[in-house]
């Protein structure tokens, strides 16, 4: 079921829970492993990356964004909670951010 966050639309994939029975999910949780929402396999990890939004004078960078990555299917995705927090940060960007002068290079 799609979830509305701000003005953007994100699709949550829930089929991973259907592929594992309750005992398998409990064992995965007890071992501290994450289950990938895309392929349903255990072993997904959280990486923390910086994400940029906008461009030019309106460029805004959010650091330490938790991104789920799966070594099995190669997918990376943001959880619904992370997307909601990003929208909240963007909404209150002036109160939650500090300005920094950074070097910017153009690829092309």
The residue range of the domain holding 69 is 2-96
Could you tell me which residues are beta bridge partners of residue 68? 46, 77
State residue 63's pLDDT score: 93
pLDDT digits (tens, 9 = 90+) for 5-25: 444 444 333 334 345 566 666
- Domain membership of residue 33 (yes or no) is yes
Q: In what order do the strands lie in the sheet with 42-53?
A: 34-35, 42-53, 60-69, 76-77
- Domain membership of residue 108 (yes or no) is no
- Domain membership of residue 76 (yes or no) is yes
Helix (H) or strand (E) holding 85, with range, is helix 80-91
Check: CB of residue 77 under 8 Å from CB of residue 67: yes
- Domain membership of residue 77 (yes or no) is yes
Domain count of the chain?
A: 1
pLDDT at 2 over 60: no
pLDDT digits (tens, 9 = 90+) for 94-106: 899 888 888 888 8
pLDDT digits (tens, 9 = 90+) for 39-65: 988 889 899 999 999 888 888 899 999
- Domain membership of residue 106 (yes or no) is no
- Domain membership of residue 8 (yes or no) is yes
- Domain membership of residue 105 (yes or no) is no
At 75, list the tokens.
């997918």
Q: What's the mean pLDDT when you consider all of the chain? A: 78
- The maximal CA–CA distance of the chain, rounded, in angstroms, is 52
State residue 55's pLDDT score: 86
Report which DSSP code applies to 20. Answer: S
Mean pLDDT of 76-104: 91
- Domain membership of residue 101 (yes or no) is no
């Amino acid at each position: 079921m799609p979830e509305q966050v701000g003005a953007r639309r994100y699709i949550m994939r829930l089929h991973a829970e259907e592929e594992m029975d309750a005992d398998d999910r409990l064992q995965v949780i007890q071992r501290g492993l994450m289950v990938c929402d895309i392929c349903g396999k255990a072993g997904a990890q959280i990486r923390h990356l910086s994400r940029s939004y906008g461009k030019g004078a309106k460029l805004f960078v959010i650091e330490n964004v938790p991104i789920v990555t799966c070594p099995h299917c190669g997918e990376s995705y943001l959880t619904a909670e992370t997307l909601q927090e990003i929208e909240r940060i963007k909404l209150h960007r002036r109160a939650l951010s500090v300005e920094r002068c950074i070097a910017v290079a153009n690829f092309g």
